[in-house]
Amino acid sequence: MNKEHTTETNAKSPIPKKKSQGRKWKAGIGLLMAAFLLQILARRLSGFGQWYAVTVYPILVRVIGGMFGLFPFSVAELGLYAFLVGIVLLGIFRIQKGLKCGLAGELKKLASEVFLILSFLAFSYTANCGVNYYRQPFSAYLDLEVRDSSADELEELCILLKERLEESAGELLAEWGTLVPSHKVQRGFARQARADMKKLRGDYSCLSAAYPVPKPVLVSEILSVQSLSGIYAPFTIEANYNQDMTAYNIPHTACHELSHLSGFMREEEANFIGYLACVGSDSPYSRYSGYAAGFLYVNNALFRQRPGEALKLYGELPKEVLADFRENSRFWKRYEGRIAEASTKINDTYLKANSQADGVKSYGQVVDLLLAYYRER
Protein backbone atom coordinates (compact mmCIF):
# COMPACT_ATOMS: atom_id res chain seq x y z
CA MET A 1 0.00 0.00 0.00
CA ASN A 2 2.82 2.37 0.80
CA LYS A 3 4.43 1.77 -2.57
CA GLU A 4 1.16 2.30 -4.43
CA HIS A 5 0.50 5.48 -2.44
CA THR A 6 3.96 6.82 -3.29
CA THR A 7 3.53 6.09 -6.98
CA GLU A 8 0.15 7.82 -7.02
CA THR A 9 1.57 10.91 -5.31
CA ASN A 10 4.49 11.15 -7.74
CA ALA A 11 2.18 10.83 -10.68
CA LYS A 12 0.08 13.79 -9.54
CA SER A 13 2.91 16.09 -8.42
CA PRO A 14 3.52 17.85 -11.77
CA ILE A 15 -0.07 19.16 -11.86
CA PRO A 16 0.17 21.45 -8.80
CA LYS A 17 3.51 22.75 -10.09
CA LYS A 18 1.94 23.74 -13.41
CA LYS A 19 -0.95 25.36 -11.58
CA SER A 20 1.52 27.24 -9.39
CA GLN A 21 3.39 28.45 -12.45
CA GLY A 22 0.14 29.58 -14.05
CA ARG A 23 -0.88 31.43 -10.89
CA LYS A 24 2.40 33.37 -10.97
CA TRP A 25 1.75 34.53 -14.52
CA LYS A 26 -1.82 35.50 -13.62
CA ALA A 27 -0.72 37.32 -10.47
CA GLY A 28 1.94 39.22 -12.43
CA ILE A 29 -0.53 40.21 -15.13
CA GLY A 30 -2.99 41.31 -12.44
CA LEU A 31 -0.39 43.54 -10.80
CA LEU A 32 0.56 45.09 -14.14
CA MET A 33 -3.09 45.73 -14.97
CA ALA A 34 -3.60 47.37 -11.57
CA ALA A 35 -0.54 49.57 -12.13
CA PHE A 36 -1.76 50.48 -15.61
CA LEU A 37 -5.22 51.33 -14.29
CA LEU A 38 -3.76 53.63 -11.62
CA GLN A 39 -1.68 55.40 -14.26
CA ILE A 40 -4.68 55.85 -16.56
CA LEU A 41 -6.84 57.20 -13.73
CA ALA A 42 -4.10 59.60 -12.62
CA ARG A 43 -3.47 60.89 -16.13
CA ARG A 44 -7.04 61.02 -17.46
CA LEU A 45 -9.39 61.44 -14.47
CA SER A 46 -9.25 64.99 -13.14
CA GLY A 47 -8.72 65.11 -9.40
CA PHE A 48 -7.78 61.45 -8.98
CA GLY A 49 -4.07 62.16 -8.44
CA GLN A 50 -4.89 64.79 -5.81
CA TRP A 51 -7.37 62.51 -4.03
CA TYR A 52 -4.87 59.64 -4.03
CA ALA A 53 -2.03 61.84 -2.74
CA VAL A 54 -4.00 63.12 0.27
CA THR A 55 -5.97 59.99 1.18
CA VAL A 56 -4.30 56.76 0.03
CA TYR A 57 -0.61 57.68 -0.11
CA PRO A 58 -0.38 58.97 3.52
CA ILE A 59 -1.61 55.56 4.69
CA LEU A 60 1.11 53.86 2.65
CA VAL A 61 3.71 56.19 4.17
CA ARG A 62 2.57 55.42 7.71
CA VAL A 63 2.40 51.66 7.16
CA ILE A 64 5.22 50.85 4.70
CA GLY A 65 7.47 53.82 5.44
CA GLY A 66 6.87 53.42 9.16
CA MET A 67 7.74 49.72 9.07
CA PHE A 68 10.98 50.11 7.11
CA GLY A 69 11.76 53.27 9.04
CA LEU A 70 12.34 51.11 12.12
CA PHE A 71 15.58 49.87 10.56
CA PRO A 72 18.66 52.09 11.09
CA PHE A 73 19.97 51.32 7.59
CA SER A 74 18.58 51.71 4.10
CA VAL A 75 16.42 48.65 3.51
CA ALA A 76 16.09 49.66 -0.13
CA GLU A 77 19.86 49.57 -0.62
CA LEU A 78 20.32 46.17 1.01
CA GLY A 79 17.20 44.95 -0.76
CA LEU A 80 18.77 45.91 -4.09
CA TYR A 81 21.85 43.84 -3.34
CA ALA A 82 19.71 40.91 -2.15
CA PHE A 83 17.52 41.17 -5.26
CA LEU A 84 20.49 41.05 -7.66
CA VAL A 85 22.15 38.17 -5.81
CA GLY A 86 18.82 36.35 -5.49
CA ILE A 87 18.05 36.62 -9.21
CA VAL A 88 21.49 35.23 -10.08
CA LEU A 89 21.17 32.36 -7.59
CA LEU A 90 17.64 31.57 -8.74
CA GLY A 91 18.84 31.47 -12.34
CA ILE A 92 21.71 29.13 -11.44
CA PHE A 93 19.36 26.89 -9.46
CA ARG A 94 16.85 26.65 -12.29
CA ILE A 95 19.52 25.92 -14.90
CA GLN A 96 21.17 23.24 -12.76
CA LYS A 97 17.83 21.62 -12.09
CA GLY A 98 16.93 21.94 -15.76
CA LEU A 99 19.99 19.98 -16.80
CA LYS A 100 18.62 17.08 -14.76
CA CYS A 101 14.86 17.41 -15.23
CA GLY A 102 14.44 19.33 -18.47
CA LEU A 103 15.81 22.77 -19.23
CA ALA A 104 12.76 24.15 -21.06
CA GLY A 105 10.45 23.53 -18.10
CA GLU A 106 12.81 25.14 -15.59
CA LEU A 107 13.36 28.20 -17.80
CA LYS A 108 9.59 28.66 -17.97
CA LYS A 109 9.45 28.55 -14.18
CA LEU A 110 12.28 31.06 -13.97
CA ALA A 111 10.50 33.35 -16.41
CA SER A 112 7.25 33.21 -14.41
CA GLU A 113 9.09 33.96 -11.16
CA VAL A 114 11.04 36.91 -12.58
CA PHE A 115 7.90 38.23 -14.26
CA LEU A 116 6.00 38.14 -10.95
CA ILE A 117 8.81 39.96 -9.12
CA LEU A 118 9.10 42.67 -11.77
CA SER A 119 5.31 43.08 -11.90
CA PHE A 120 5.22 43.57 -8.14
CA LEU A 121 7.97 46.21 -8.37
CA ALA A 122 6.09 48.00 -11.16
CA PHE A 123 2.92 48.09 -9.08
CA SER A 124 4.80 49.23 -5.97
CA TYR A 125 6.43 52.05 -7.92
CA THR A 126 3.10 53.22 -9.32
CA ALA A 127 1.27 53.04 -5.99
CA ASN A 128 4.07 54.60 -3.92
CA CYS A 129 5.30 57.20 -6.37
CA GLY A 130 3.94 57.37 -9.92
CA VAL A 131 0.40 58.55 -9.18
CA ASN A 132 1.66 61.47 -7.07
CA TYR A 133 3.11 63.20 -10.13
CA TYR A 134 -0.46 64.17 -11.02
CA ARG A 135 -1.41 65.88 -7.76
CA GLN A 136 -1.93 69.59 -7.11
CA PRO A 137 1.42 71.44 -7.17
CA PHE A 138 2.91 72.77 -3.95
CA SER A 139 2.82 76.33 -5.30
CA ALA A 140 -0.99 76.17 -5.36
CA TYR A 141 -1.08 75.67 -1.60
CA LEU A 142 0.98 78.85 -1.16
CA ASP A 143 -0.97 80.82 -3.80
CA LEU A 144 2.32 81.60 -5.54
CA GLU A 145 2.24 83.29 -8.92
CA VAL A 146 4.85 81.38 -10.88
CA ARG A 147 5.66 83.38 -14.02
CA ASP A 148 8.53 84.55 -16.17
CA SER A 149 10.78 87.03 -14.39
CA SER A 150 13.12 89.74 -15.57
CA ALA A 151 16.89 89.64 -15.25
CA ASP A 152 16.62 92.47 -12.72
CA GLU A 153 14.38 90.35 -10.47
CA LEU A 154 16.77 87.44 -10.80
CA GLU A 155 19.76 89.60 -9.85
CA GLU A 156 17.92 91.08 -6.86
CA LEU A 157 17.10 87.59 -5.58
CA CYS A 158 20.69 86.48 -6.09
CA ILE A 159 21.91 89.45 -4.02
CA LEU A 160 19.38 88.66 -1.27
CA LEU A 161 20.38 84.99 -1.07
CA LYS A 162 24.05 85.94 -1.13
CA GLU A 163 23.48 88.14 1.92
CA ARG A 164 21.56 85.37 3.71
CA LEU A 165 24.27 82.86 2.84
CA GLU A 166 26.96 85.18 4.21
CA GLU A 167 24.97 85.67 7.42
CA SER A 168 24.50 81.94 7.98
CA ALA A 169 28.17 81.25 7.20
CA GLY A 170 29.14 84.04 9.63
CA GLU A 171 27.15 82.35 12.40
CA LEU A 172 29.02 79.10 11.89
CA LEU A 173 32.43 80.77 11.64
CA ALA A 174 31.78 82.69 14.86
CA GLU A 175 30.82 79.47 16.66
CA TRP A 176 33.16 76.90 15.07
CA GLY A 177 35.86 78.93 13.36
CA THR A 178 35.24 76.80 10.26
CA LEU A 179 32.45 75.70 7.94
CA VAL A 180 33.46 72.03 8.19
CA PRO A 181 31.06 70.33 10.62
CA SER A 182 32.36 67.95 13.27
CA HIS A 183 31.57 64.24 13.11
CA LYS A 184 29.08 64.77 15.93
CA VAL A 185 27.21 67.39 13.90
CA GLN A 186 27.27 65.19 10.80
CA ARG A 187 25.85 62.24 12.74
CA GLY A 188 22.88 64.44 13.60
CA PHE A 189 22.11 65.51 10.02
CA ALA A 190 19.39 62.91 9.46
CA ARG A 191 17.44 63.57 12.66
CA GLN A 192 17.81 67.32 12.17
CA ALA A 193 16.32 67.02 8.66
CA ARG A 194 13.38 65.14 10.11
CA ALA A 195 12.92 67.84 12.76
CA ASP A 196 13.15 70.56 10.10
CA MET A 197 10.44 68.94 7.98
CA LYS A 198 8.20 68.51 11.02
CA LYS A 199 8.67 72.19 11.85
CA LEU A 200 7.79 73.19 8.28
CA ARG A 201 4.71 70.97 8.53
CA GLY A 202 3.40 73.41 11.13
CA ASP A 203 3.31 76.14 8.47
CA TYR A 204 1.97 74.03 5.60
CA SER A 205 -0.61 71.36 6.42
CA CYS A 206 -0.08 69.73 3.02
CA LEU A 207 3.26 68.47 4.36
CA SER A 208 1.56 66.35 7.02
CA ALA A 209 3.55 63.19 6.40
CA ALA A 210 4.76 60.78 9.06
CA TYR A 211 8.43 61.47 8.42
CA PRO A 212 10.88 58.68 9.20
CA VAL A 213 14.56 59.51 9.66
CA PRO A 214 16.34 59.79 6.25
CA LYS A 215 19.13 57.29 5.81
CA PRO A 216 22.61 57.44 4.31
CA VAL A 217 23.38 54.97 1.56
CA LEU A 218 26.10 52.71 2.98
CA VAL A 219 27.91 52.35 -0.34
CA SER A 220 27.25 55.92 -1.46
CA GLU A 221 29.63 55.58 -4.39
CA ILE A 222 26.70 53.90 -6.17
CA LEU A 223 24.99 57.29 -6.10
CA SER A 224 28.15 59.30 -6.76
CA VAL A 225 28.94 57.55 -10.05
CA GLN A 226 25.39 58.40 -11.17
CA SER A 227 25.75 62.06 -10.12
CA LEU A 228 23.01 61.57 -7.52
CA SER A 229 22.99 63.35 -4.17
CA GLY A 230 20.00 61.39 -2.89
CA ILE A 231 17.17 59.10 -3.90
CA TYR A 232 13.61 58.33 -2.85
CA ALA A 233 13.05 54.57 -2.67
CA PRO A 234 9.40 53.95 -3.64
CA PHE A 235 9.48 50.24 -2.83
CA THR A 236 10.24 50.86 0.84
CA ILE A 237 9.17 54.53 1.02
CA GLU A 238 12.55 55.63 2.35
CA ALA A 239 14.48 58.87 1.92
CA ASN A 240 18.14 58.12 1.18
CA TYR A 241 21.09 60.45 0.74
CA ASN A 242 24.70 60.30 -0.44
CA GLN A 243 26.88 60.46 2.67
CA ASP A 244 30.12 60.88 0.72
CA MET A 245 29.38 64.26 -0.90
CA THR A 246 30.48 67.59 0.52
CA ALA A 247 28.74 68.05 3.87
CA TYR A 248 26.81 71.24 3.12
CA ASN A 249 24.73 69.33 0.53
CA ILE A 250 23.37 66.79 3.01
CA PRO A 251 20.78 68.76 5.06
CA HIS A 252 19.10 70.18 1.95
CA THR A 253 19.24 66.83 0.14
CA ALA A 254 17.77 64.96 3.13
CA CYS A 255 14.86 67.43 3.34
CA HIS A 256 14.42 67.23 -0.45
CA GLU A 257 14.03 63.45 -0.28
CA LEU A 258 11.70 63.64 2.74
CA SER A 259 9.44 66.02 0.83
CA HIS A 260 8.67 63.13 -1.53
CA LEU A 261 7.07 61.37 1.45
CA SER A 262 4.53 64.21 1.51
CA GLY A 263 3.54 63.18 -2.00
CA PHE A 264 5.39 65.97 -3.84
CA MET A 265 7.39 64.10 -6.45
CA ARG A 266 8.31 66.88 -8.86
CA GLU A 267 11.95 67.74 -8.42
CA GLU A 268 11.66 71.52 -8.47
CA GLU A 269 9.02 71.31 -5.74
CA ALA A 270 11.16 68.97 -3.65
CA ASN A 271 14.08 71.39 -4.01
CA PHE A 272 11.86 74.28 -2.92
CA ILE A 273 10.38 72.42 0.05
CA GLY A 274 13.87 71.32 1.08
CA TYR A 275 15.01 74.94 0.88
CA LEU A 276 12.12 76.18 3.05
CA ALA A 277 12.75 73.45 5.63
CA CYS A 278 16.45 74.26 5.87
CA VAL A 279 16.27 78.06 6.01
CA GLY A 280 13.56 77.81 8.68
CA SER A 281 15.60 75.37 10.76
CA ASP A 282 16.80 75.92 14.32
CA SER A 283 20.16 74.53 13.18
CA PRO A 284 22.59 77.13 11.78
CA TYR A 285 24.22 74.47 9.59
CA SER A 286 20.88 73.50 8.05
CA ARG A 287 20.25 77.18 7.31
CA TYR A 288 23.68 77.42 5.69
CA SER A 289 22.89 74.34 3.58
CA GLY A 290 19.56 75.79 2.45
CA TYR A 291 20.94 79.20 1.52
CA ALA A 292 23.91 77.61 -0.25
CA ALA A 293 21.57 75.51 -2.39
CA GLY A 294 19.28 78.45 -3.11
CA PHE A 295 22.13 80.81 -3.99
CA LEU A 296 23.77 78.34 -6.36
CA TYR A 297 20.53 77.64 -8.24
CA VAL A 298 19.78 81.34 -8.63
CA ASN A 299 23.38 82.29 -9.43
CA ASN A 300 23.50 79.65 -12.18
CA ALA A 301 20.27 81.02 -13.63
CA LEU A 302 21.64 84.58 -13.47
CA PHE A 303 24.84 83.45 -15.22
CA ARG A 304 22.81 82.49 -18.29
CA GLN A 305 21.46 86.04 -18.55
CA ARG A 306 24.11 88.23 -16.94
CA PRO A 307 27.32 86.21 -16.64
CA GLY A 308 29.39 89.18 -15.50
CA GLU A 309 27.11 89.99 -12.57
CA ALA A 310 26.78 86.33 -11.61
CA LEU A 311 30.55 85.86 -11.47
CA LYS A 312 30.96 89.09 -9.53
CA LEU A 313 28.45 88.04 -6.84
CA TYR A 314 29.94 84.57 -6.67
CA GLY A 315 33.46 85.93 -6.27
CA GLU A 316 32.41 88.23 -3.41
CA LEU A 317 31.45 85.31 -1.17
CA PRO A 318 33.60 84.64 1.92
CA LYS A 319 36.68 82.55 1.19
CA GLU A 320 35.41 79.75 3.45
CA VAL A 321 32.19 79.46 1.44
CA LEU A 322 34.13 79.46 -1.82
CA ALA A 323 36.37 76.72 -0.42
CA ASP A 324 33.26 74.65 0.32
CA PHE A 325 31.97 75.17 -3.22
CA ARG A 326 35.35 74.27 -4.75
CA GLU A 327 35.49 71.08 -2.71
CA ASN A 328 32.01 70.19 -3.93
CA SER A 329 33.08 70.73 -7.56
CA ARG A 330 36.17 68.58 -7.04
CA PHE A 331 34.07 65.80 -5.53
CA TRP A 332 31.63 65.54 -8.44
CA LYS A 333 34.35 66.01 -11.05
CA ARG A 334 35.90 62.72 -9.89
CA TYR A 335 32.81 60.88 -11.05
CA GLU A 336 32.33 62.48 -14.44
CA GLY A 337 32.23 59.94 -17.24
CA ARG A 338 30.02 57.63 -19.25
CA ILE A 339 28.19 56.18 -16.25
CA ALA A 340 27.21 59.64 -14.98
CA GLU A 341 26.15 60.68 -18.50
CA ALA A 342 24.07 57.53 -18.95
CA SER A 343 22.47 57.98 -15.53
CA THR A 344 21.56 61.57 -16.36
CA LYS A 345 19.94 60.47 -19.63
CA ILE A 346 17.98 57.74 -17.84
CA ASN A 347 16.84 60.20 -15.17
CA ASP A 348 15.87 62.68 -17.89
CA THR A 349 13.78 60.05 -19.67
CA TYR A 350 12.20 58.95 -16.38
CA LEU A 351 11.15 62.49 -15.46
CA LYS A 352 9.73 63.17 -18.92
CA ALA A 353 7.76 59.91 -18.75
CA ASN A 354 6.20 61.23 -15.53
CA SER A 355 4.95 64.45 -17.14
CA GLN A 356 7.98 66.59 -16.26
CA ALA A 357 8.51 67.85 -19.80
CA ASP A 358 11.84 69.52 -19.03
CA GLY A 359 13.40 66.37 -17.63
CA VAL A 360 16.51 66.95 -15.52
CA LYS A 361 16.22 70.68 -16.20
CA SER A 362 13.25 70.64 -13.81
CA TYR A 363 15.68 70.56 -10.87
CA GLY A 364 16.69 74.11 -11.76
CA GLN A 365 13.10 75.31 -12.04
CA VAL A 366 13.18 75.80 -8.29
CA VAL A 367 14.39 79.30 -9.24
CA ASP A 368 10.89 80.17 -10.53
CA LEU A 369 9.41 79.06 -7.21
CA LEU A 370 11.99 81.04 -5.24
CA LEU A 371 11.26 84.16 -7.31
CA ALA A 372 7.52 83.76 -6.76
CA TYR A 373 8.03 83.12 -3.04
CA TYR A 374 10.18 86.19 -2.40
CA ARG A 375 8.05 88.35 -4.66
CA GLU A 376 5.29 87.97 -2.06
CA ARG A 377 7.61 89.10 0.76
Q: Each residue of 197-243: pLDDT tens digit?
A: 999 999 998 998 889 999 999 999 999 999 999 999 999 999 999 99
Q: Is the pLDDT of residue 308 over 90?
A: yes
CA distance 21 to 196: 49
Return the pLDDT at 11. 46
- DSSP-derived letter for residue 131 is G
Return the pLDDT at 346. 73
CA distance 360 to 348: 5
Say whether 337 sits in a helix, a strand or coil. coil
Taking CA atoms, 135 is separated from 51, 108, 130, 139, 243, in Å, by 8, 40, 10, 12, 31
> How would residue 321 be classed by pLDDT, with cut points 50, 70 and 90?
very high
Return the pLDDT at 17. 60
The answer to whether 165 and 292 have CB atoms below 8 angstroms apart is yes
Low-confidence winner among 36-50, 124-138, 332-346 (lowest mean pLDDT) = 332-346
Order the strands of the 230-233 sheet from edge to edge: 215-216, 238-241, 230-233
- DSSP-derived letter for residue 214 is P
Q: Is 355 left (phi over 0), alpha (psi -120 to 50) or beta?
A: left
> How would residue 330 be classed by pLDDT, with cut points 50, 70 and 90?
very high
Q: 97: buried, middle or exposed (CB in 10 Å: 19+, 13-18, 0-12)?
A: middle
- DSSP-derived letter for residue 218 is T
| Size (the chain), residues | 377
Q: Is the pLDDT of residue 97 over 60?
A: yes
Q: Please report, to the nearest 10 degrees, the dihedral formed by the alpha carbons of residues 149, 150, 152, 155 taken in order.
A: 50
* Average model confidence (pLDDT) across the chain: 90
Residue type, 81: Y
Strand-pairing partners, residue 283, are none
Higher local confidence (pLDDT), 361 or 371: 371
Q: Is the pLDDT of residue 349 over 80?
A: no
Return the pLDDT at 294. 97
Return the pLDDT at 336. 87
Average pLDDT over residues 281-286: 98
> How would residue 8 be classed by pLDDT, with cut points 50, 70 and 90?
very low
Q: Is the pLDDT of residue 361 over 80?
A: no
Q: Is the pLDDT of residue 18 over 70?
A: no
Q: Is the pLDDT of residue 304 over 60?
A: yes
Q: Is the pLDDT of residue 155 over 80?
A: yes
Low-confidence winner among 2-11, 40-49, 73-82, 234-243 (lowest mean pLDDT) = 2-11
Specify which of 145-149, 184-188, 362-366 reaches the highest per-range mean pLDDT. Answer: 184-188
Return the pLDDT at 356. 62
Higher local confidence (pLDDT), 80 or 342: 80
Strand-pairing partners, residue 240, are 215, 231
Return the pLDDT at 12. 47
Return the pLDDT at 94. 85
Average pLDDT over residues 355-367: 63
> How would residue 341 be classed by pLDDT, with cut points 50, 70 and 90?
confident
Q: Is the pLDDT of residue 2 over 70?
A: no
Say whether 231 sits in a helix, a strand or coil. strand
Nearest to 130, CA basis, from 235, 59, 229:
235
For Cα atoms 270, 121, 254, give the angle at the middle one, nearest 5 degrees: 25
CA distance 13 to 21: 13
Average pLDDT over residues 92-119: 87
CA distance 61 to 51: 15
Q: Is the pLDDT of residue 3 over 50?
A: no
Return the pLDDT at 220. 97
Q: Is the pLDDT of residue 306 over 90?
A: yes
For Cα atoms 171, 216, 66, give the angle at the middle one, nearest 5 degrees: 105
